Amino acid sequence: MSNALQSVIKAIDELDFDNINNVVQICLDEGISPLSIIQDGICKGLDIVGEKFNTGEYFLADLVMAGEIVNEVMPNLKARMNSSDAVQKGKVVMATVKGDIHEIGKNIVCMLLDANGFEVIDLGIDVPAERIVNTVKEKKASFIGLSCLLSTMVGSIGEVVESLKREGLREKVRVFIGGACTSEQLKDEMGADVYSATAVDAVRTMEKMCGAMT
Amino acid sequence: MNPTERIIRTLEGKPVDRVPTFCAGLEDRTFNEVLGEPWLKTKTIFANPLIKSLLNNWGPKITKTFVQPQITAGMEKRIEAAAALGFDATWALYDETFVLIDSRTMARFTGALFELIDDGFGNMTYMYKAPGIKTREAFNAWPYWPDPDAVAHRAYKFFKKTLAKYGDRVCFCGQASAYGIQESLLWTIGFEKVPLWIRKEKDLVERFITMAEELCLKTSMAMLDAGVKIILQSDDFAFKTGPMMNPKMIESLFGPSYRRIIKSVHDRGGKYILHSCGDNTVLFDMFIDWGVDGLHAYENTSTVDIFKCKERHGDRVTIIGGVGIDYLLTERSRDQEIVDQVKLLIEKLATGGRFILGPIHGMSNMPADKLRVMIDACKKYGVYRTN
């Protein structure tokens, strides 16, 4: 691997916001393709950050910072990519469930999914089940990510699952849940597929499932 | 032993007659069940086209005159209902932090936006919506920064009055219009932008912390002057699986402020409880080092292990909370499940003292009957076993 790509990985690993544009530009000047910078530099840097988060060396704010660093350079890299370069790992419909307007956790998951090569359709907050399922149908998404903080609104998760069943989509889509009031027990109670305690867990599980699907 | 003596002795690690109970704030549905339903619910008021138009056009101007008295009355009802339910202590909140922007939006005076929503029981409540300040210019132009002296003065009057009415029946753990320094910062500029602001706009972050500390300090002193014995500060430093920020960063940014505030409270003979949601396992030692007397939440849906916490720091600080609001204190649970959990918590946590039982949080769908089951079980089985 070139020194320039190593520098991209290092900048993300060390959360070096001030240096990221510089090291990405060096990669581009050396003729490294934007796709390679993303796959071999940015994604690998994010893997290290994710690992450090899992082992307790990094914290949520560090994860957010890594996302900000990636956001800083992605528009430039995406603009330089050919349409044939745009390889997406999978499509994910993300939403905070109906009745709940908390979105910080959802936004962090969206940011990490996007940085890791997923196509994210973020429907925002307080989203009715019908709209989520219609979007899945229209975009042919493989995953739904539902965020829920309020214990008063957990029923909204079950509504999405029921709505998927009614539309004959249940077997085609994996439903992820996360947020303060969610748990393995709630996942089973509501008929969802995966409970993720952290944003990193959610992204990694989706990546594994993508691998299994392809 | 009266409730205040019971709570203070427990915070000091001294023997008491039984495990005390703590109320983590009651929302409208619950206190209406205890005190009686109002003849007109707030949802109906907010749905009125005339009121809506008034709020949309004159919101900020009429907040103080028309809205704040309603909020203050609600704060008093929370205390009254907690006393009526038989709690030993309650989170006694005086909140004048809001400015009504329109019929759907409120701004907290420290720069965060909240949405007014229906709680599902005919009452209006609010939820955090978005940061109110996104740029340096917006920070400097924010029109609602509080006057800490004026806020403290009104807090003094509120607590003087409510303590006279309910102080002999329930111990006040007071908080007055000053939310946690860290969580206020997160709400004001948005969690996603905080790491960037700490690097790029450090002077503004420091100005904010200084202002928030002054507010906490002055309102705490006002409450103590009014006769409140325990200050309770909410500041959610953690989320489900761990701290929001690196503990070293938390210490360097917020530690000095909290140390000064807690020392001032102790210097005046008060006690200090910190409420922090989420899994604070790696932060607890730091909080104890800051000087807190009690720690509240130990949120059961997070990865914190309250029983291990008892082993690690149960002899140095009082553990408060333990009863989940995700299931146990909802209509979905059976009474016996609540009793079983209370017995388990008492068995594992009450040995050696320093345990106060209560919900880990307030919640808008909490039935009063479930709280009664919890309190009765605690009074029945909560014999304090001392080492």
Q: pLDDT at residue A198 above 90?
A: no
List of chain B residues whose C-beta atoms are within 8 Å of the C-beta of residue A197: 240-241, 303
Give ipTM to 2 decimals: 0.86
pLDDT in tens, A15-49: 999 999 999 999 999 999 988 898 899 988 988 99
List of chain B residues whose C-beta atoms are within 8 Å of the C-beta of residue A184: none
Cα separation of B25 and B385, whole Å?
28
Contact (CB<8Å) B239/A60? yes
Q: At what angle do helices B202-226 and B148-166 cross, to 10 degrees?
A: 30
pLDDT at A50: 87
pLDDT at B243: 94
Q: pLDDT at residue A10 above 60?
A: yes
**How many angstroms away from the CA of A147 is the closest CA of chain B?**
13
Q: Where are the domains of chain B?
A: 3-38+68-97+139-381
Q: A89: exposed, middle or buried (C-beta count within 10 Å: 0-12, 13-18, 19+)? A: buried
pLDDT band at B120 (very low <50, low <70, confident <90, very high): confident
Question: Can you tell me the mean pLDDT for A172-176?
Answer: 95
Tokens of residue A43, six digits? 């994604």
pLDDT at B358: 98
Cα separation of B182 and B219, whole Å?
17
Rg (CA), chain B: 20
List of chain A residues whose C-beta atoms are within 8 Å of the C-beta of residue B117: 101
Q: Ranked by mean pLDDT, which of A72-76, B51-55, B220-224 comes out on top?
A: B220-224
Q: At what angle do helices B335-349 and B306-313 cross, to 10 degrees?
A: 20
* Cα–Cα separations (whole angstroms), residue A83 to A76, A86, A140, A142: 14, 6, 20, 21
pLDDT in tens, A103-149: 888 988 998 898 888 999 999 989 999 999 999 999 999 999 999 98
pLDDT at A83: 64
pLDDT in tens, B72-95: 999 999 999 999 999 999 999 999
Q: How many Cα atoms sit within 13 Å of B277 on the Cβ side?
A: 18
pLDDT at A68: 87
DSSP A125-175: SSB-HHHHHHHHHHHT-SEEEEE---GGGTHHHHHHHHHHHHTT-GGG-EE
pLDDT at B33: 97
With b for 16 or more beta-carbon neighbours within 10 A and e for fewer, the A36-66 pattern comes to: ebbebbbbbbbbbbbebbeeeebbbbbbbbb
Which residue type is seen at B253? Answer: L
**How many angstroms away from the CA of B195 is the closest CA of chain A?**
6
**In contact, A99 and B364? CB cutoff 8 Å:** no
Tokens of residue A158, six digits? 């079950």
Contact (CB<8Å) A198/B241? yes
Give percent of chain A above pLDDT 70: 96
Q: 3-state DSSP call for residue A196?
A: coil
List of chain B residues whose C-beta atoms are within 8 Å of the C-beta of residue A181: 301, 326
Phi, psi of A117 (to 5 degrees): 95, 15
Architecture of domain B3-38+68-97+139-381: Alpha-Beta Barrel (3.20)
Q: pLDDT at residue B329 above 70?
A: yes
pLDDT at B386: 47
Judged by a CB distance cut-off of 8 A, whether residue A65 touches chain B is yes
Q: Give ranges for CATH 3.40.50.280 in chain A.
A: 91-213
**In contact, B188 and B132? CB cutoff 8 Å:** yes
Tokens of residue B302, six digits? 């997070």
DSSP B95-108: ---EEE-SSSEEEE
Q: Which of B117, B128, B192 is facing A107, going by the closest CB pair?
A: B192
Q: First and final CA of chain B: distance in angstroms?
A: 20
Architecture of domain A91-213: 3-Layer(aba) Sandwich (3.40)
DSSP A8-38: HHHHHHTT-GGGHHHHHHHHHHTT--HHHII
| Antiparallel, parallel or unpaired: β A143-147 and A194-195 | unpaired
**In contact, A139 and A93? CB cutoff 8 Å:** yes
Q: pLDDT at residue B325 above 70?
A: yes
Which residue type is seen at A20? Answer: I
Contact (CB<8Å) A104/B327? no
DSSP B233-302: EE---EETTEESS-HHHHHHHHHHHHHHHHHHHHHTT-EEEEEE-S--TTTHHHHHHHT-SEEEE--TTS
Q: Which of B241, B277, B325 is facing A197, going by the closest CB pair?
A: B241
Judged by a CB distance cut-off of 8 A, whether residue B45 touches chain A is no
| Antiparallel, parallel or unpaired: β B112-118 and B105-108 | antiparallel
Q: pLDDT at residue A101 above 90?
A: no
Mean pLDDT of chain B: 95
Judged by a CB distance cut-off of 8 A, whether residue B121 touches chain A is no
pLDDT at A28: 96
| Antiparallel, parallel or unpaired: β B105-108 and B98-100 | antiparallel
Judged by a CB distance cut-off of 8 A, whether residue B282 touches chain A is yes
pLDDT at A194: 96
Tokens of residue B94, six digits? 């005086």
pLDDT at B106: 95
Q: Please enumerate in sequence order all residues whose Cβ is within 8 A of that of B314, keeping only pairs 6 or more positions apart, or say none.
A: B349, B352, B354, B355
Question: Can you tell me the mean pLDDT for B273-278?
Answer: 96
**How many angstroms away from the CA of B247 is the closest CA of chain A?**
9
Question: Can you tell me the mean pLDDT for B180-193?
Answer: 94
**How many angstroms away from the CA of A65 is the closest CA of chain B?**
6
From the candidate CATH numbers 1.10.150.120, 1.10.1740.10, 1.10.1240.10, 1.10.20.140, the one assigned to the domain spanning A3-83 = 1.10.1240.10
Phi, psi of B94 (to 5 degrees): -115, 120
Q: pLDDT at residue B292 above 90?
A: yes
Question: Can you tell me the mean pLDDT for B126-137?
Answer: 93
Contact (CB<8Å) A180/B363? no
Q: pLDDT at residue A87 above 70?
A: no
Q: 3-state DSSP call for residue A177?
A: strand
Tell how far CA A125 is from the center of its chain.
Answer: 16
Judged by a CB distance cut-off of 8 A, whether residue B363 touches chain A is yes
Cα separation of B301 and B360, whole Å?
10
pLDDT band at B387 (very low <50, low <70, confident <90, very high): very low
Q: Please enumerate in sequence order all residues whose Cβ is within 8 A of that of B54, keeping only pairs 6 or more positions apart, or say none.
A: B62
List of chain A residues whose C-beta atoms are within 8 Å of the C-beta of residue B300: none
Which candidate in B113, B116, B283, B326 is best for mutational testing of the A interface (most A CBs within 10 A)? B326
| Antiparallel, parallel or unpaired: β A174-178 and B294-297 | unpaired
pLDDT at A7: 97
**In contact, B155 and B177? CB cutoff 8 Å:** yes
pLDDT at A153: 85
Q: Give ranges for CATH 1.10.1240.10 in chain A.
A: 3-83
Cα separation of A87 and A24, whole Å?
20
